[in-house]
Amino acid sequence: MRVGVTVPLGYGDTAEGRAPTFQETLEFARAAEASGLDSIWVYDHLIFRFPPEPEEGLNEAWTTLTALAALVPRVELGALVMCSSFRNAGLMAKMAATLDDLSGGRLILGLGCGWHQPEYEAFGYPFDHLVGRFEEDLEVITRLLRGEEVTSEGKWSRYSAAKLLPPPARRTPTLVASKGERMLRLTAQWSDAWNTAWFGEVDDVLRARLRALDEACAAVGRDPSTIRRTVGIRLREPGQPPDSGKSTDTGAAGLADLFDELEAVGADDVLIWSLSKGPAALERIAEARGIKLARR
């Protein structure tokens, strides 16, 4: 099982409560690679507004991932996830093919339909029919990345003999974050990988989501073993009080046990959102990965 981490991008990713500089993001990514981890991940939002809490923001995900690709040479590069609402689907496919080639074939294009209405309103994006719009976009992106020419007349988009030229160097894999029945069906129909998050343990909710993905695969006639399953977990510092979401504060040995439990229920990747983005957190994750590998 592979182990990856999200990189610092937003206000909550620094001890001072500010957005990190790119240098800080780069240092974390390089440390993750040097510690033997398998992947690094960005997340895609424009602004966070949860009144009465103060507004928060983060650095733009795709620009950051592109810069990291040139400077962090080994690990897989992913997005949890790029919001399909923010970029035209054809352009998103073009960007992905270019970044995949630039990185030497290390990109996994994570996609989602979006959910945070205040950022849509702030930046002028329509917030209606998110899944319907996503359905059109996902098909277009996937087919373009497969090297197809796309002509389609959708309810929200239109394409006329669109194609990627130069053609993609390889078929860039896509990942969809999903949990509802319709989104899971789209994942099973079009995507190479799936993400569900965020967890602190293997619980009944996670097991139910894994079963629901199997059911979605059966509904579209897909072998469920052909879809890569990634599970996001939140990690807090040992002894740190629980936050508002599901998270774990286990030490390295306990984290290795959690890795084993996740693998046992079918996870191919564990993707860790560490609430602390310091060296100690990376050391704990890397130690847990080492313990797991030693058990094999």
Residue 275 lies in a domain: no
Across 19-42, average pLDDT: 98
Residues 185 and 220 sit within 8 Å (Cβ to Cβ): yes
CATH code of the domain covering residue 153:
3.20.20.30
Residue 28 lies in a domain: yes
Measured CA to CA, the distance from residue 117 to residue 49 in angstroms comes to: 9
pLDDT at 240: 84
The CA-atom distances, in angstroms, between 266 and each of 148, 192, 194, 211, 228 are 32, 15, 12, 10, 9
Residue 141 lies in a domain: yes
Residue 273 lies in a domain: no
Residue 268 has pLDDT above 80, yes or no: yes
Largest CA distance in the chain: 57
Measured CA to CA, the distance from residue 17 to residue 24 in angstroms comes to: 14
Residue 146 lies in a domain: yes
Across 133-144, average pLDDT: 98
Please report which confidence band the pLDDT of residue 221 belongs to, taking 50, 70 and 90 as the band edges: very high
Residue 63 lies in a domain: yes
The pTM score is 0.96
> Could you tell me the two tokens for 257?
């046990």
Collect all residues with Cβ–Cβ distance below 8 Å to 19 and sequence separation of at least 6: 9, 10, 11, 13, 57, 58, 59
Query: In which domain, by residue range, is 55 found?
Result: 2-232
Residue 192 lies in a domain: yes
Residue 118 lies in a domain: yes
Backbone angles phi, psi at 216, to 5 degrees: -65, -40
| Domain total in the chain | 1
- Which has the closest alpha carbon to 77: 5, 166, 178, 171? 5
How confident is the model over 161-212, as pLDDT tens digits? 999 999 999 999 999 999 999 999 999 999 999 999 999 999 999 999 999 9
Beta strand 158-162 with 150-153 is antiparallel
